[in-house]
């Protein structure tokens, strides 16, 4: 869905701009992009026509109202489409998280079985070593019990027999050791069986192998007996389990945010009170207005969309200020217009201007004041985030009397044409 052309951006004015501001912006823009002033630019004619179309719509109150309504509908549809896309992305993320959790549980089950097999193999090996030591001790005790004479005559034979028995016992234990549990695949094959044939699995196995070798060697000497081929994969997976269990689980992903607008009055911003808005799902939430103005975004934490397995999203509310008859918001300043007569503009005067809260504020108009000249009155604007307030900006507008005045007319003629009789 293509977006509408933003006529306000084309003219470089805000959405609440008045008719005079729109007309002035159109004149400035039209003069700068006029084809006669940009003969080398082939796009100048198109830009000039586009500015003309924007002004034709915005200068007419009825056309401007229809345009604003249509634009609000288009923006609402775009926001709805964005929310649907975010919801789809959230569902896909939840499905991926579910699959990752199932894979992790399967891996932990495999590792638990591997640890159990390792413990069983260690127990069997320890029993065989204990039996061999008991047989050797028994042989030594029998040889010592013989008489001295028989020991002298048969000492070489007894020693040879004891050595042969010992060698046979150790050979039997050595021959039977590797056969426990049957042939075992290497660490790479075991890692591939659990984690799949992926570069990440091979890299993990290689990193753990190198860490194990570095930990076992100190100045070229082993710190502990070498691990048998049967137990090497189990040690590898035990190290991986310890690493996995030592890493805290990542926080759940956040659900998409809800984007909406709140239309408020200048009085609401002055009073710093919260205003209610209704979301698309029918819920009503309150938006605080502390230190905000036109265009600011207020984020309501944890009040957005809610999906199973995801952290709840936020509600992002863009502030829109209603334009009043006498006042307009400019950041944290409040602007108003004060009409003055010609004699007050020339001579200056003491007068009053209505403030945004309805009270009358004294104002000094300097002598020789022009139209569009502004006078700032501090601390009468909107509250800002720093704890202060903006200003009340008074724009002077020189106005003639409703009916012609002969004395003033004669004076102006005298100033323009000189003394006459």
- In 301-408, beta strands by DSSP E: 315-321, 328-330, 333-341, 349-354, 360-365, 374-383, 389-399
Residue 117 resides in a domain: yes
Express each pLDDT in 223-280 by its tens digit. 444 445 545 555 555 555 555 555 555 677 888 889 999 999 998 999 988 999 998 8
**Same structural domain, 233 and 294:** no
**Same structural domain, 140 and 218:** yes
Tell me, rounded to whole angstroms, the distance of Cα 362 from its chain centroid.
Answer: 48
Express each pLDDT in 290-345 by its tens digit. 999 999 999 999 888 887 778 888 999 999 998 877 899 999 999 999 999 888 99
Residue 87 resides in a domain: no
Residue 23 resides in a domain: no
Contact (CB, 8 A) for 79 and 13? no
Of 272, 298, 322, which residue constitutes the final position of a domain? Answer: 322
Residue 299 resides in a domain: yes
Nearest residue to 33 via CA among 50, 17, 49, 48: 48
First to last CA, the chain: 74
Of 222, 246, 270, which residue constitutes the final position of a domain? Answer: 246
Distance CA 384, CA 21 (A): 26
**Same structural domain, 147 and 265:** no
CATH of the domain at 273: 2.60.260.20
Residue 318 resides in a domain: yes
> Is residue 264 classed exposed, middle or buried when 0-12, 13-18 and 19+ CB atoms within 10 A define those classes?
buried
Q: Can you spell out the DSSP letters for 111-142?
A: HHHHHHHHHHHHHHHHHHHHHHHHHHHHHHHH
Distance CA 39, CA 9 (A): 24
**Same structural domain, 342 and 403:** yes
Per-residue pLDDT at 198: 56
* Domain range enclosing 192: 107-246
Of 216, 246, 276, which residue constitutes the final position of a domain? Answer: 246
> Which DSSP symbol is given to 35?
G
**Same structural domain, 149 and 123:** yes
**Same structural domain, 181 and 210:** yes
- Please count the structural domains in the chain: 3
Token pair belonging to 86: 């975010």
**Same structural domain, 294 and 351:** no
**Same structural domain, 215 and 114:** yes
Residue 412: pLDDT over 70: yes
Residue 89 resides in a domain: no
* Packing angle, helices 61-144 and 232-246, rounded to 10: 140
**Same structural domain, 134 and 203:** yes
Residue 122 resides in a domain: yes
**Same structural domain, 333 and 313:** no
Distance CA 336, CA 352 (A): 12
pLDDT tier at 395, thresholds 50, 70, 90: very high
**Same structural domain, 202 and 220:** yes
Residue 164 resides in a domain: yes
**Same structural domain, 180 and 239:** yes
Token pair belonging to 197: 């044939």
pLDDT tier at 175, thresholds 50, 70, 90: very low
């Amino acid at each position: 869905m293509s977006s509408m052309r933003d006529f306000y951006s084309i003219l470089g004015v805000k959405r609440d701009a008045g008719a005079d501001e729109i007309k002035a912006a159109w004149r400035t823009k039209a003069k700068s992009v006029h084809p006669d002033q940009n003969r080398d630019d082939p796009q100048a004619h198109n830009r000039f026509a586009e500015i003309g179309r924007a002004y034709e719509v915005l200068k007419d109150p009825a056309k401007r109202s229809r345009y604003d309504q249509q634009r609000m509908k288009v923006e609402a549809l775009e926001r709805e489409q964005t929310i649907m896309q975010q919801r789809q992305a959230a569902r896909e993320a939840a499905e991926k998280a579910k699959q990752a959790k199932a894979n992790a549980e399967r891996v932990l089950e495999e590792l638990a079985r591997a640890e159990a097999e390792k413990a069983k193999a260690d127990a069997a090996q320890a029993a065989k070593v204990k039996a061999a030591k008991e047989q050797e001790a028994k042989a030594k005790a029998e040889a010592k019990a013989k008489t001295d004479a028989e020991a002298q005559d048969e000492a070489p034979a007894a020693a040879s027999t004891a050595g042969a028995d010992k060698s046979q016992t150790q050979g039997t234990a050595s021959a039977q050791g590797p056969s426990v549990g049957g042939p075992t695949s290497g660490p790479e094959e075991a890692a591939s069986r659990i984690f799949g044939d992926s570069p990440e699995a091979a890299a993990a196995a290689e990193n753990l192998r190198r860490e194990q070798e570095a930990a076992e060697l100190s100045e070229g000497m082993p710190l502990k007996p070498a691990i048998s081929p049967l137990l090497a994969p189990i040690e590898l997976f035990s190290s991986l389990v310890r690493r996995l269990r030592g890493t805290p689980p990542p926080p759940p992903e956040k659900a998409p945010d809800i984007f909406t607008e709140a239309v408020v009055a200048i009085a609401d911003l002055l009073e710093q009170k919260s205003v209610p808005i209704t979301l698309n799902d029918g819920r009503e939430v309150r938006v605080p207005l502390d230190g905000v103005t036109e265009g600011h975004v207020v984020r309501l934490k944890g009040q957005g969309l809610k999906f199973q397995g995801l952290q709840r999203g936020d509600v992002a509310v863009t502030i829109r200020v209603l334009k009043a008859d006498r006042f307009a918001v400019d950041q944290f300043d409040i602007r108003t217009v004060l009409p003055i007569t010609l004699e007050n503009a020339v001579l200056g005067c003491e007068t009053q201007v209505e403030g945004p809260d309805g009270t009358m504020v004294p104002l000094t108009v300097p002598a020789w004041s022009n139209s569009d000249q502004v006078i700032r009155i501090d601390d009468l604007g909107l509250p800002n985030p720093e704890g202060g307030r903006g200003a009340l900006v008074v724009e002077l507008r020189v106005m003639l009397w409703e009916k012609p005045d002969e004395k003033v007319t004669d004076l102006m003629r005298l100033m323009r044409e000189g003394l006459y009789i």
